[in-house]
Copies of this chain bind each other. A is one copy, B any other.
Amino acid sequence: MNDLITINDVARAAQVSTATVSLALNGNPCVKQQTRERIIRIAKELGYSPNRLAQGLARRKSGLIGLAVPDIESLYYGKIVRHIDEAAGQNGYQLTLAISNDNPETERKIIGKFIDQQVEGLIVAPINQPVQQVNYFQELVKTKIPCVFITAYYPQLKAPYVMADLQAGSCVLAEHLLSQGRRHLCFLSGCPEVITTQIRTAGLEEAVRKAAGRQAPKASLRIIACQRLDYAAGYEQACLLLKQNLPVDAIITINDEMALGALNAAISLGFDIPGQLAVAGYDNMIFSSAATVPITTVDQNIDLMCRQAVDMLMTMMKQSGQEANGHPSGIMLEPRLVIRRSTERP
């Protein structure tokens, strides 16, 4: 039952006080070179390493930053977790992760747990569901724990965020399709009450609107709201759509999983891609490049997004305690269109 070696054991073994051990191990220059080295050596011999709980309690710093994601069974959020973890680690922080399961109530509870855990900062990837009120955020403000949103934000909140510029990305993607001669776009979309869906739709509409004047036949945009947003959903929805024999010559999806699903569905229905139908995804995940027909997509630069979020958080954590630093800022990352065969001119 005895836990590990404590600082007392080291102090005793080195014939000094615990204070000295603490100072020495934390590299405080007040400790004589020779003493420091002896203490460090002894600590190492004993296999001592400090109890983070006690350390956190005394320093009033847990060394923890919290990350909430709606889902972990997708490449997209997997990447987010990985990069945030990496960036947090580089800044000397340990990540504590929680999964909200796309459920507002769960998300609220998670934030509460994070607060109890004394996280020093918080990164939230919001759920992809309509959310009326984000009351937990008020509590968060009270605790003064810095928080930044990633991949999306809650419009009712004035809080910093960093996300991909989905409007620009969707727009440039649609423009590409239109420039390749496509006219009847269909967007396999998410819940229309969710902010990111709205942003994406706005981008697509923008492109269609601009094109409508210049080109004939007139471009159209059909939107299908899907419940789930995974591979199977893309497959099913594309099947449903294509069997209707509507004048659709391009399918755009919310992510690459769905695009791959839609592509495979179209192929098994006998469609020629890109001859009869273009398919485009979003996120530039690994498999979009290696599909039967490589899929055009938009890169979100998740790596950069995560690093910026962590940087922003670190800055806020440092400023915390000082005055509020003006407006919380939102960062939109530029999209990068990745053109592949699935959208070539027919």
**Residues on A close to B: CB < 8 A?**
1, 3-4, 47, 49-54, 56-57, 60, 62, 72-75, 77-79, 81-82, 85, 94-99, 112-113, 115-118, 139, 143-144, 230-232, 235-236, 257, 260-261, 264-265, 267-268, 286-287, 289-293, 320-321
Interface pair B236/A143, CB less than 8 Å apart: no
The complex is assembled from copies of this chain, and their number is 2
CB <8 Å contact, B236 and A261: no
A117 to B54, CA, bound (A): 10
List of B residues within 8 angstroms of A72 by Cβ? 72, 78, 81-82, 85
Residues of chain B with a CB closer than 8 A to A62's CB: 53
Whole-angstrom distance from the CB of A253 to the nearest CB of chain B?
14
| Nearest CB in chain B: distance from A99 CB, A | 6
A264 with B292: CB separation less than 8 A: yes
Indicate if the CB atoms of B52 and A118 lie closer than 8 Å: yes
In the docked arrangement, what's the CA distance between A257 and B291, Å?
A: 11
Q: In whole Å, how far is A238's beta carbon from the nearest beta carbon of chain B?
A: 10
Least Cβ distance of A175 to chain B in Å?
28
Given contacts A94-B117, A97-B95, contact A290 B235 (CB under 8 A): yes
Contact in complex: A49, B116 (CB < 8 Å): yes
Name A289's contact: one of B79, B232, B287 (CB within 8 Å). B232
Q: State the CA gap A249–B148 with chains docked (Å).
A: 53
Which of B75, B286, B292, B321 is within 8 Å of A232, CB to CB? B286
- Minimal beta-carbon separation of A7 from chain B (angstroms): 13
User: A231 with B292: in contact, given A53-B118, A82-B72, A112-B49 (CB under 8 Å)?
Assistant: no
